[in-house]
Amino acid sequence: MSSTAPQQDFSKKQNFILFAQHGWADTYHDIYYLAQALVNEVSSTNIPIYTPDLGWINTWLTIAPLIDKVERIALEAIAQYPDLPLRIIGHSMGGLIWLEVLNRHQEWWHKVHSLVLVGSPVGGSDLGRLFDPLRLFPLIARDLGKNRRSIAEAIAVKVPTLSIVGNIGNYTDGTVPIGCSQFNHASLVYLNNLRHPTLKNHPRVATAVSQFWSNPTIATVPINTASLLIAKLRAIDLTEIDHQNFADAKVIQTYPDGTKLWTWKNSLQVMHVFVSEKVTNAQGSCDQCIYSAYTGWRDTPKLENILQTL
């Protein structure tokens, strides 16, 4: 069953509402197990849990009706428990849905104890943009490819927000590049060796959520050279990807602290840009890639002009 209408033991006290939302090509079952495990760990009281089942087929269509459904369920839950704070978890597209719901209801922000996004492509899914590069087709690829970073940052500056990412190498969980899940004011937790589907109910995810719940904070925004450079690149909405092609790139700019800007064109003449930081370990110093993105053919001249100013 879906827990959109949870059975409650009203002899027990409720001290928060937990919303947990599954993502694309999925149902509520796995995210419900994660939600239940979290509630069992942090509270012996009766916590209302809402895990709307959006329907596996529906997640392949468009996101708008999915947002409407989650919004409707949230409205009903908040009306039933008007004095309870909200804790929100969204896996992948589920996180994007909650960004849209919260953007519609800024009057809820003061009620939100914490927002946790798990493997959510906030900056726009590279796979979504690959399947619909011109964003012409009214299907889920276009919706997943949308850049929601400005929405996420507006929320995260007011609501304690955590972004959990998996990393199986090359700065990706196999589906969502880590950079796509980064945004200002949100804390970031890396979970090595976890793939995207595994993140929705893995015990290490539950541990990361519990730790954040114990001390929900709004993260400070880094102001080092690399972070400022990445912020300028993100302002032009490039498609962020994994780091597998960094080894082929060439340096075009080196900054005093060792930060470097790199570019590379593939065989199709698609322009890629990379940012690296200088790191030192037992083996010596090296350039560690921390940002990778590309732009389409029509925007290549624009990117090349911008790169000359960085």
For the chain, percent of residues with pLDDT exceeding 90: 81
Q: 177 pLDDT exceeds 90?
A: yes
Confidence of residue 66 (pLDDT cuts 50, 70, 90): very high
Give the least confident one: 44-53, 60-69, 225-234.
44-53
**Cβ of 99: how many Cβ atoms within 10 Å?**
26
Nearest alpha-carbon partner for 121 in 257, 240, 265: 240
Give the least confident one: 59-68, 146-155, 167-176, 282-291.
282-291
- E strands within 229-298? 239-240, 250-254, 260-265, 271-281, 284-294
> CA-to-CA distance for 187 and 4, rounded, in angstroms?
28
163 DSSP β-pair partners: 117, 188
What is the location of CATH 3.40.50.1820 in the chain?
17-214
For the chain, percent of residues with pLDDT exceeding 70: 93
Please tell me the predicted confidence (pLDDT) of residue 257: 94
CB 290 within 8 A of CB 275: yes
Give the least confident one: 78-87, 153-162, 273-282.
273-282
Q: 11 pLDDT exceeds 50?
A: no
Nearest alpha-carbon partner for 161 in 212, 94, 102: 212
Q: Which CATH class is domain 17-214?
A: alpha beta
Q: 4 pLDDT exceeds 60?
A: no
Cα–Cα distance list, 45 to 8, 35, 40, 73, 247 (Å): 11, 14, 9, 22, 53
Write down the pTM of the prediction.
Answer: 0.92
Q: What is the mean pLDDT of the chain?
A: 92
